[in-house]
Structure 1
Amino acid sequence: MTASIRQAVRSDAERLDAALAALAGDLGDPYRATPAGLERAGWGRAPAFRAQIAEAGTDLAGLALYSPGLSTVMGGPGLYVSDLWVAPGHRSDGLGQRLLAAAFADAAHVWGACFLRLQVYDRSPAARRFYDRLGFVPSTGHTDLFLDEAGCAALKGET
């Protein structure tokens, strides 16, 4: 069965949570999100993300979760795909590419996106091959840096 893709809505928060937890499990990552937290972040006063959902009948077949970004180097807005997941039974049928295309089309419409950015774990060679086949190229000349909750608290002088 070919999966259909649609924009996620508020009532999808539990399904998003289940898929994101499955992705974290696949990657061996901890998972701290909750359906309520996703609902607040995605459909609150200032939405922090948008998502595309792939469904095969009533089954969740995949998702792409993404946020806006602005790059003066690229000359405008883009999207950052933080999570791309395809259920095991739907892999190798082009669904990942379709989800990325749907996310980009939505971001181009909503934010005027002119580029797409994502990260791939070094420990995920199959994912890297997938992105290579689509034409993604590694960034050079910069390093991703993160500030965790404790670091943010210190930054605000709350320690």
Structure 2
Amino acid sequence: MGETIIRPATEADIDMLDAGLRRLSEGMGDSHRASVADLRRAGFGPRPSFRALLAEVDGALGGLALFSPVFSTMRGAAGLYVSDLWVAEAGRGQGLGRRLLARAAGEAETLWGARFLRLVVYDDNPAAQRFYRRLGLSADRREILMTLDEDGLDALEGRI
């Protein structure tokens, strides 16, 4: 791996960020509904809901991390939720994913005092599970991730 620079994404990087997130979605077999406008509004608007880091390897996008604040009353602390972590195929196995997570954790600690990291890994992705376990992450068997989709949220708020 050549010269690697990890830096915060800016609004000027929106197309690069979108391209990396699309590559992640494609690699996972996921749909990708977020448009460039969605990313711009959510990440670079008046109240950003995420932060992003870009890893450039010899000037090309080699990876990214997208993360947001989360607070746990049980832990009594803020943390970071990593919603997206992607490393280009050519850069895997060389420590870039770990470096992205470490940088995200450091930025989250500075920004909102983060003391823990959370993420979700797919049950059909054993390579990612091994990677996260090597870093010290573990599954909490008491927790089940539950999601209310957009229609459910509209119903909950009485919009439909």
Give the aligned residue type for 1:29: D
Runs (4+) of structure 1 moved beyond 4 Å?
A: none
CA distance in 2, matches of 1:136, 1:126: 14
How many residue pairs align between the two structures?
159
**Can you list the C-alpha shifts for 1:56-85, whole angstroms capped at 9, x where unaligned?**
122000000000000011111000000000
Residues in 2 aligned to 1:8 and 1:129: alpha-carbon distance in whole angstroms: 28
Q: For residue 143 of structure 1, what is the amino acid of its counterpart? A: I
Q: Distance in 1 between matches of 2:133 and 2:113?
A: 25
For 1:90, the aligned partner's letter is: G
Same amino acid, percent of matched pairs: 51
User: Which residue matches 1:89?
Assistant: 90
Counterpart in the other structure of 1:63: 64
Q: Give, in angstroms, the shift of residue 140 of structure 1.
A: 2.1
SS of the counterpart of 1:98? helix
2:32 is paired with a residue of what secondary structure?
coil
Alignment partner, residue 13 of structure 2 = 12
The match for 1:29 is: 30
TM-score w.r.t. structure 1 length? 0.98
The 5-angstrom pairing of residues 56-135 of structure 1 reads 56-135=57-136
- Cα distance in 2, alignment partners of residues 145 and 81 from structure 1: 16
Read off the aligned partner of 1:22 and give its amino acid letter: R
Residue 2 (structure 1) shift: 3.3
**Matched residue, 1:138:** 139
Gaps of 5+ in 1: none
How much is the aligned-residue C-alpha RMSD, in angstroms?
A: 0.8
**TM-score between the two structures when normalised by the length of structure 2:** 0.97
Contiguous gaps of at least 5 residues in structure 2:
none
